């Protein structure tokens, strides 16, 4: 946080699969001065909305001076943020937004509409990188994405094209970005292992690999990584110069 102060907005994800550990992480994050904390719902057990709300509110109570962002990723968490659950969470004044990683962009519109009723500010972030401009078009305030680190310049350009109303160019760049994402997913290794290897090859950043049980990069992934690197280089030349 000391290095990021004034340069970046830092949102710390604090969720564990039990309330006590999540609260401990939330307290620690607040003590460091993060801008916000975020949490997915508890995973594995299918809990009712009231139990999920209690979990999130207990985490928020452990960091009472820090904004709270709900992280909706139903395809991995096994439970989806519903409008009734969001309404319940909006009773907590620290809840300022949603990072939405569900695939239907309609969810972004619904959460944005519900969250901005009345006078309180409320942000919604697009999660799926493959639909970045779709999320922005329907009302997302920005995006939080896993593949941004492999090609940040392309996402900055994409946001600029959208902001400037250059829809056709934005759509074509989104297609180029999507093809890069598909290439990053084409090997046997985990997506984030592929991204780390791309960063090593393109930027000279050797930041290790992923933690087990995620599949690390191996020589079997060379073709897929090389293809992803070539697509990034071509897109950079075309769109950034």
Just list the catalytic residues.
Answer: 71, 99
3-state SS record for 27-72: HHHHHHCCCEEEECCCCCCCCCHHHHHHHHHHHHHHCCCCEEEEEE
User: Dihedral of CA 160/190/74/94: which sign?
Assistant: negative
Instruction: Report the half-sphere exposure of 211 (CA within 13 A, side-chain side).
Output: 0
> Hey, how many other C-beta atoms are within 10 angstroms of the C-beta on 233?
11
First-last CA distance in the chain: 33
Cα–Cα distance, 118 to 21 (Å, whole number): 34
Cα–Cα distance, 122 to 136 (Å, whole number): 15
In terms of Cα–Cα distance, which of 79, 36, 31, 35 is closest to 55? Answer: 79
φ and ψ at 28, to 5 degrees? -65, -45
């Amino acid at each position: 946080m000391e290095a990021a102060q004034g340069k970046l907005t830092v949102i710390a994800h604090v969720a564990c699969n039990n309330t006590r550990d999540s609260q401990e992480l939330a307290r620690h994050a607040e003590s460091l001065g993060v801008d916000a904390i975020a949490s997915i719902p508890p995973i594995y057990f299918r809990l009712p909305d009231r139990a999920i709300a209690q979990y999130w509110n207990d985490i928020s109570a452990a960091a009472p001076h820090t904004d709270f962002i709900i992280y909706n990723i139903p395809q991995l968490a096994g439970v989806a943020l519903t409008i009734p659950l969001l309404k319940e969470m909006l009773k907590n004044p620290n809840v300022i937004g949603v990072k939405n990683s569900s695939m239907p962009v309609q969810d972004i519109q619904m959460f944005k509409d519900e969250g901005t009723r009345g006078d309180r500010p409320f942000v919604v972030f697009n999660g799926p990188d493959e639909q970045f401009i779709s999320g922005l078009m329907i009302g997302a305030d920005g995006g939080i994405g896993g593949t941004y680190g492999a090609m940040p310049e392309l996402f900055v350009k994409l946001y600029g094209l959208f902001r400037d109303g250059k829809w056709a160019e934005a759509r074509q760049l989104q297609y180029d970005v999507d093809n890069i994402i598909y290439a990053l997913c084409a090997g046997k290794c985990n997506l984030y292992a592929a991204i780390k290897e791309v960063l090593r090859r393109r930027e000279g950043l050797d930041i290790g690999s992923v933690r087990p049980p995620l599949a690390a990069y191996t020589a079997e992934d060379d073709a897929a990584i090389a293809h992803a690197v070539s697509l990034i280089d071509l897109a950079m030349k075309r769109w950034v110069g």
